């Protein structure tokens, strides 16, 4: 069935057809080339933005919400407006036990402190944390370990520092593990160092110490700074946020309609917005790319109609010599698909070079805007299949036009 594709005469005819007017053939192919270049370039850029976003939030459990206490805006149960709301460990436990869909609740606290090592010092953020934090906000440890349960149980004076702290308090290539730093004139042993390359909610996450140790040295008692609530994947984090706030209002004698008593940041909701934007961008890219491809392929169809008109006498001779209508149609379709595929392949190669250029210009470093801008092999194959289908369909128009010419009329054509 496909033996004609390996026939030298088939490809000689294709060559002769397009070599008669090379400039016209090249300009015809530009539309398809541009369409596939747009498709590859825009899809690769969208993937690069998605990779950058995932790297930015990759360490977080994205189905999360952060809740902290502020000031009331309504009087309730004998309390005046403006009461300061302070969350507690018992609040966190009640939320975890009573709100449906919660996977983790992580109490956290933070304070600023003077940190000293030998003759070097600086003011940094000190976080009181549980080991669970490393599950919901994964730390990229460079040396040592994160806080464990023994550190919590024994109120150990140990610290996990960021690479930025290391640069300011330690000599280059010095091993920080086992060394001591002073936090508010209290010695803490460094047990780990992490790369501070993720997104931080609140002050810069510089130093982590056991939560119980933090509560002790800052005399916090049962109070916490805020809680990080992570929902199970199948639950709506917005609903979990509303349920948690309502429960906290009941626990702290706050008016149910008071919207200012608790502050929050819903990471899941914001993540969903960006994800929706990226999906929309990919849809728009496919739409624009395929629409441009169709326009380019129609241009090829129009040019082939002109070519058929110019080759009327030639077609008549072939028909008179015994060529069947099917053979004439087949040849025209082959020419259409060939033009479309060649233009498409050049578009894929050009799009690939554009993505390489984007990666070189914007994809380097930790703060890269576009990370690994690329398209999968599957996308390339889909694009090629679309090109073959469109080329075949558009080639049928001039093909039927060619076979509608009667041999005797074609031979009279001057």
**Are the beta carbons of 91 and 261 closer than 8 angstroms?**
no
Position 158 confidence tier, pLDDT thresholds 50, 70, 90:
very high
What distance in Å separates the CA atoms of residue 146 and residue 322, rounded to the nearest whole number? Answer: 83
Position 390 confidence tier, pLDDT thresholds 50, 70, 90:
confident
The reported pLDDT for the residue numbered 203 is 41
* Rg for the chain, CA atoms, rounded: 34
Q: What is the mean pLDDT of residues 388-394?
A: 80
**Are the beta carbons of 70 and 263 closer than 8 angstroms?**
yes
Three-state DSSP class for residue 410: helix
Taking all residues of the chain, what is their mean pLDDT, rounded to a whole number? 83
The reported pLDDT for the residue numbered 188 is 96
Q: What is the dihedral of CA 320, 321, 326, 328, to 10 degrees?
A: -80
* Most confident listed range (183-187, 193-197, 291-295): 183-187
What single-letter DSSP state applies at residue 167? Answer: H
Task: Quickly tell me which residue has 């090249």 as its tokens.
Answer: 26
What distance in Å separates the CA atoms of residue 276 and residue 17, rounded to the nearest whole number? Answer: 48
Q: Check whether 176 has a pLDDT greater than 90.
A: yes
The reported pLDDT for the residue numbered 44 is 87
Q: What is the mean pLDDT of residues 174-196?
A: 92
* Phi, psi values for residue 225, rounded to 5°: -75, -50
Task: Quickly tell me which residue has 């933090």 as its tokens.
Answer: 214
**Are the beta carbons of 58 and 198 closer than 8 angstroms?**
yes
Task: Give pLDDT tens digits for 31-48.
Answer: 888 888 888 888 888 888
**Are the beta carbons of 92 and 82 closer than 8 angstroms?**
no
Task: Give pLDDT tens digits for 228-245.
Answer: 999 998 899 999 999 999
The reported pLDDT for the residue numbered 362 is 78
Q: Check whether 204 has a pLDDT greater than 70.
A: no
The reported pLDDT for the residue numbered 315 is 67
Position 6 confidence tier, pLDDT thresholds 50, 70, 90:
low
Nearest alpha carbon to residue 343 among 4, 18, 46: 18
Three-state DSSP class for residue 185: coil
Position 310 confidence tier, pLDDT thresholds 50, 70, 90:
low
Lowest mean pLDDT among 190-199, 251-260, 372-381: 190-199
* Most confident listed range (54-68, 80-94, 261-275): 80-94
Q: Check whether 4 has a pLDDT greater than 60.
A: no
CA distances from 105 to 65, 81, 89, 172, 292 (A): 10, 29, 10, 38, 50
* Phi, psi values for residue 108, rounded to 5°: -145, 155
**Are the beta carbons of 146 and 139 closer than 8 angstroms?**
yes
> Exposed e or buried b for every residue in 387-402, given b needs 16+ CB within 10 A?
beebbbebbebbbebb
DSSP 48-68: HHHHHHHHHHTTB-SSEEEEE
Q: What is the mean pLDDT of residues 191-197?
A: 84
Q: Check whether 199 has a pLDDT greater than 60.
A: no
Query: Is-above-0.85 flag for pTM?
Result: no
Answer with the residue of higher pLDDT: 334 or 159: 159
Residue 92 burial (CB < 10 Å; 0-12/13-18/19+)?
buried
Structure tokens at 32: 């398809």
Task: Give pLDDT tens digits for 320-346.
Answer: 677 777 777 777 777 778 888 888 888
Triad 382, 387, 389: Cα angle to 5° = 95
Answer with the residue of higher pLDDT: 93 or 57: 93
The reported pLDDT for the residue numbered 1 is 45
Lowest mean pLDDT among 112-121, 178-187, 369-378: 369-378
Task: Give pLDDT tens digits for 92-115.
Answer: 999 999 999 999 999 999 999 999
Percent of the chain at pLDDT above 70?
84
CA distances from 17 to 53, 283, 309, 328, 402 (A): 50, 38, 12, 13, 14
The reported pLDDT for the residue numbered 313 is 67
What distance in Å separates the CA atoms of residue 144 and residue 141, rounded to the nearest whole number? Answer: 7
Q: Check whether 246 has a pLDDT greater than 70.
A: yes
């Amino acid at each position: 069935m496909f033996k004609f594709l390996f026939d030298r005469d088939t490809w000689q005819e294709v060559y002769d057809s397009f070599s008669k007017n090379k400039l016209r053939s090249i300009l015809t192919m530009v539309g398809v080339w541009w369409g596939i270049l747009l498709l590859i370039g825009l899809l690769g850029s969208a993937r690069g933005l998605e990779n950058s976003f995932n790297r930015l939030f990759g360490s977080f459990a994205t189905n999360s919400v952060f809740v902290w206490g502020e000031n009331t805006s309504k009087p309730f149960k004998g309390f005046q407006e403006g009461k300061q709301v302070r969350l507690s460990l018992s609040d966190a436990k009640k939320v975890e036990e009573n709100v449906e869909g919660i996977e983790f609740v992580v109490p956290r606290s933070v304070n600023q402190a003077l940190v000293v090592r030998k003759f070097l010092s600086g003011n940094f953020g000190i976080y009181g944390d549980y080991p669970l934090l490393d599950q919901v906000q994964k730390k990229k440890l460079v040396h040592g370990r994160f806080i464990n349960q023994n550190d919590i149980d024994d109120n150990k004076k140990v610290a996990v520092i960021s690479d930025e702290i290391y640069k300011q308090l330690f000599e280059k290539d010095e091993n920080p593990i086992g060394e001591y730093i002073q936090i508010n004139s209290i010695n803490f042993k460094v047990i780990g160092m992490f790369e501070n390359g993720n997104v931080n909610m609140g002050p810069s996450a510089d130093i982590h110490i056991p939560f119980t140790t933090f509560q002790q040295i800052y005399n916090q008692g049962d109070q916490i700074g805020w809680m990080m609530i992570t929902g199970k994947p199948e639950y709506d984090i917005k609903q979990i946020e509303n349920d948690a706030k309502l429960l906290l209002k009941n626990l702290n004698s706050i008016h149910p309609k008071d919207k200012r008593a608790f502050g929050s940041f819903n990471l899941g909701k914001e993540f969903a917005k960006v994800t929706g934007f990226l999906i929309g961008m990919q849809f728009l890219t496919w739409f624009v790319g395929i629409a441009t491809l169709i326009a380019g392929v129609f241009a090829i169809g129009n040019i082939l109609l002109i070519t058929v008109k110019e080759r009327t006498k030639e077609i008549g001779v072939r028909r008179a010599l015994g060529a069947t209508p099917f053979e004439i149609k087949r040849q025209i379709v082959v020419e259409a698909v060939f033009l479309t595929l060649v233009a498409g392949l050049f578009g894929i190669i050009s799009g690939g070079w554009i993505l390489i250029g984007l990666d070189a210009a914007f994809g380097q470093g930790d703060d890269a805007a576009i990370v690994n801008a690329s398209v999968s092999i599957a996308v390339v194959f889909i694009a090629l299949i679309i090109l073959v289908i469109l080329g075949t369909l558009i080639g049928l128009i001039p093909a039927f036009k060619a076979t509608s010419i009667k041999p005797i009329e074609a031979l009279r054509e001057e």
